[in-house]
Amino acid sequence: MTSRLRFQTARELFETFPTAAEDMAAVPAERPSIDYLRDLVIGPTPEDAVTFCSYLLPRRVAVWWGHQCLINLPEGLTSQDQGLLAAAEDWVREPEEDRRYAALDAGMAAPVKTPGAWIALAAGWSGGSMAPPGMAPVVPPPFLTARAVNAAVLSAVARVPLKQRAIVLEACVSMGIQMTES
């Protein structure tokens, strides 16, 4: 079994991405990442598990995970979201620069930053340059993909009725854990 974990311990993740500590209520711990993630989802702020998972997965896998979380919540998605999800999926399936730029352009052009727009931006910010082709490269900060995936998933979950949110959060995090193991 191949692991897709970027960080073996939670502390490694927080040391690499200080922004994760800004994005979460939970504090760093010297614990295996998956154990820490499982505790977060049943903790007082289960949304932290989504945030942690967004940083834990490699960028391309994180975009796919966010995409999969969203398509499992279709009632909260608009037709605009469907097109943006398709742009992100195109990049995940074939991570070429033109597809990454197409996802970035689509996400930037979205008049409202819906869950689908955030996933498209996550794909667009996964590497390369944020500047249009032919201009001086502007490398996206390494935390942008995680923050965009996090915004996508949490904004979609926020549209779920309150009594179902814990179940939806747990399902998303379980899917993220499965993606680290396959």
pLDDT tens per residue across span 33-59: 999 999 999 999 999 999 999 999 999
Within a domain: 46: yes
CA distances from 28 to 11, 32, 89, 118, 130 (A): 5, 11, 32, 26, 31
Q: How many CB atoms lie within 10 A of CB 135?
A: 9
pLDDT band with cut points at 50, 70 and 90 for residue 3: low
Instruction: Tell me what the mean pLDDT of segment 79-90 comes to.
Output: 96
pLDDT at 2: 43
User: Are 40 and 46 spatial neighbours (Cβ–Cβ below 8 Å)?
Assistant: yes
Within a domain: 2: no
User: Are 69 and 175 spatial neighbours (Cβ–Cβ below 8 Å)?
Assistant: yes
- How open is the CA angle 82-85-89, to the nearest 5 degrees? 135
Q: Which residue has the tokens 């966010």?
A: 66
pLDDT tens profile 10-27 = 999 999 999 999 999 999
Q: Where are the alpha helices (DSSP H) in the chain?
A: 10-16, 18-23, 33-41, 47-56, 59-71, 79-93, 97-109, 115-124, 144-157, 162-181
Within a domain: 59: yes
Within a domain: 1: no
User: Are 24 and 51 spatial neighbours (Cβ–Cβ below 8 Å)?
Assistant: yes
**Is a pLDDT exceeding 70 seen at residue 1?**
no
The domain total for the chain is 1
How many angstroms separate the CA atoms of 152 and 26, rounded? Answer: 20
pLDDT band with cut points at 50, 70 and 90 for residue 100: very high
Instruction: Print the domain residue range for 35.
Output: 10-181
Query: Taking the model in full, what pTM does it have?
Result: 0.95
* Amino acid letter, 81: D
How many angstroms separate the CA atoms of 52 and 21, rounded? Answer: 9
Under DSSP, is residue 32 helix (H, G, I), strand (E, B) or coil? strand
